[in-house]
Amino acid sequence: MSTPHLPKVAGIDPTVPSPTHTATPLPGIPAAASEPGTLIQDRLAGWVSDLTTLHELTERLARTRTLDEALRELLSAGAGLVGARRGMAVLEPADGQGPTATIGLGLAHADLGTIETVPRSATPYGCILDGLPGGPLPDPRPSPADHHAPPGRGAEGGAAFPAAAPGTAAVPGAVAVPDILGDEHLDPRHREVAARLGFAASYAVPLSTEGNGRLGAAVWLYDEPAEPDGHRRHLVGLYGRYASEHLGRLLELERGRAEIATLTEELLPTRLPRVPGVRLAARHVTGARGGGDWYDALPLPEGALGLAVGSVSGTGPSALAATGRLRASLRAYAVMEGEDPVAVLSDLELLLRLTEPARSATALFAYAEPARRRIVLAGAGHAPPLVVGDRRTEYVETSLSAPLGMLACWEAPSVDLDVRPGETVLLYTDGLLRRIGGPVDRAFVLLHAAAASVPRVDRADPGAVADHVLRLVLGAPAEGGGPGGRGDDEDVVMLAARFD
């Protein structure tokens, strides 16, 4: 006869006696006190865990290089900290100088547009961006009473934002709406949009720094009525302050790049000349640091055309200033001595040595006669042009020469080139080769392969030829991994001339 088994409940075997120190105390007898230091150890463990989490999240954020990447990382990390699934970030610097952006997490572009139909003053991010009252959580670590405060109020039922000092504006704090659908004080359009998109609560934090002021706001959306507790608010507040500083740095870089790009474009030709027998197209890809790459095309007497590309050593405003001076000087020399490209570059080299002895430059100047489809060119330390046609794709054999400013006296022989009808001559700067990356020979091979693969239907358009080549070579992986050799630091200029 088998021994009957006692039932098991929730995976606990009742046949195993409970240890004496875990047995339920008898009524009236107090439970044994926890060991001294246990509470402190638990708190220390929690702090270490929080610091580890914040360190990992800030490390990931620090690796972002653009405002768009940083905002997306901020939304993703913040969603994990507050326990939400969706959200949106609004970048809107208080100085009004831009740039502005709206990024969504788990929200389609149409969803963001729908949210923006809500009156701005009725949205959590609108309260933050416009400094309006309405946020119930001015302190990231509120007292327990704050959890029961009505929406738009603090623990004492007063205004959510701390009082401002005389003569200063109050800084909005976090804005929590724990139950959007159940809050009758909210704008009806707000509740309607929330019901349509399927979110029932929101939590928003400001993004601001002492140096830049208000940068924007981040909002996270809950699928059910909810509100982050004090611990989660404290963590996201710490993370938000670090994220704001990082966004402030990226904002300054973005503005600097935009200013340099604008200045660079102003130094380049506003339009290309129209000369019978040849069609022109130019492409300029601005580097992150702003380089000194340039191009020019100018009509010359007797139907001739001058084509030039070049690169000045260095980056930043000083290189751009040198670029403007060299380009203006080359135009003058081309008008006077355009038929002799060597003389043009010799004069340019003398000017460089006299005005900027510490700077060097590469340049290529071509004197083209479209009616005869003939080109005479000379280069100073510059990459050779590339001829693209139906019957050939080949580099022009130019003589080796040093860059301008490297020798006491520059001089190199010119090269004659006869162009066939329908062929396109590509002039480009060294930045293209550096962006491709790897050994120079490999870069030349990839550039030649890209030019040879131009579809026949696109070869009649010099702009289409340039676009096809740049699209292929700028995405070519460099040896050692990663696209390109030096990322987006290098300027790239390409000038395409198609002869009829």
3-class DSSP string for the chain: CCCCCCCCECCECCCCCCCHHHCCCCCCCCCCCCCCCHHHHHHHHHHHHHHHHHHHHHHHHHCCCCHHHHHHHHHHHHHHHHCCCEEEEEECCCCCCCCCEEEEECCCHHHHHHHCCCCHHHCHHHHHHCCCCCCCECCCCCCHHHHHCCCCCCCCCCCCCCCCCCCCCCCCCEEEECCCCCCCCCCHHHHHHHHHHCCCEEEEEEEEECCCEEEEEEEEEECCCCCCCHHHHHHHHHHHHHHHHHHHHHHHHHHHHHHHHHHHHHHCCCCCCCECCEEEEEEEECCCCCCEEEEEEEEEHHHEEEEEEEEECCCCHHHHHHHHHHHHHHHHHHHHHCCCHHHHHHHHHHHHHHHCCCCCEEEEEEEEECCCCEEEEEEECCCCCEEECCCCEEECCCCCCCCECCCCCCCCCCEEEECCCCCEEEEECHHHHHHHCCCHHHHHHHHHHHHHCCCHHHCCCHHHHHHHHHHHHCCCECCCCCECCCCCCCCEEEEEEEEC
Residue of 191, 231, 230, 236 lying closest to 217 (CA atoms): 236
pLDDT bin (cut points 50, 70, 90) of residue 133 is low
Cβ–Cβ under 8 Å, residues 14 and 6: yes
Rounded distance, CA 157 to CA 145, Å?
Answer: 10
Positive or negative CA dihedral for 246, 249, 253, 256? positive
Task: Kindly report, as residue ranges, where domains of CATH 3.30.450.40 are found in the chain.
Answer: 58-152+171-258
With 80 as the cut, is the pLDDT of residue 414 above it? yes
Phi and psi angles of residue 477, each rounded to the nearest 5 degrees, phi first: -70, 135
CA distances to 261, 341, 342 from 414, rounded to whole Å, are 33, 7, 6
Higher pLDDT, 267 or 9: 267
pLDDT digits (tens, 9 = 90+) for 291-326: 688 999 999 999 999 999 999 887 777 788 888 888
Strand partners, 179: none
Tell me the C-alpha distance between 104 and 197, whole Å.
Answer: 13
The amino acid present at 13, given as its one-letter code, is: D
Averaged pLDDT for residues 461-477: 87
- Percent over 90 (pLDDT), the chain: 54
26-50: pLDDT as tens digits: 455 555 555 657 788 878 888 888 8
Predicted confidence at residue 319, as pLDDT, reads: 80
CATH-assigned architecture of domain 268-499: 4-Layer Sandwich (3.60)
Residue 197 has pLDDT above 80, yes or no: yes
Q: Give the whole-angstrom CA distance, residue 396 versus residue 242.
A: 54
Report pLDDT for 7. 40
Whole-number pLDDT of residue 211 = 84
pLDDT in tens, 145-167: 443 333 333 333 333 333 333 33
| Residue environment code for 324-348, b if the CB has 16+ CB neighbours within 10 A, otherwise e | bbbbebbbebbeebbbbbbbbbbbb
Percentage of residues in the chain having pLDDT higher than 70: 80
What is the widest separation between alpha-carbon atoms in the chain? Answer: 120
**77: closest CA among 191, 196, 220?**
220
Measured CA to CA in angstroms, residue 117 lies from 88, 175, 198 at distances of 15, 19, 16
Per-chain mean pLDDT for the chain: 81
pLDDT of residue 355: 84
263/265 Cα distance (integer angstroms): 6
Q: What pLDDT sits at residue 181? A: 92
* pLDDT tens figures, 425-455: 999 998 898 888 888 899 999 999 999 999 9
Q: Which regions of the chain carry the CATH code 3.60.40.10?
A: 268-499
Q: Which fold has domain 58-152+171-258?
A: Beta-Lactamase (3.30.450)
Least confident of 30-34, 51-55, 367-371: 30-34
Rounded to 5°, the CA angle 387-392-393 comes to 45
Average pLDDT for residues 365-385, to the nearest whole number?
93
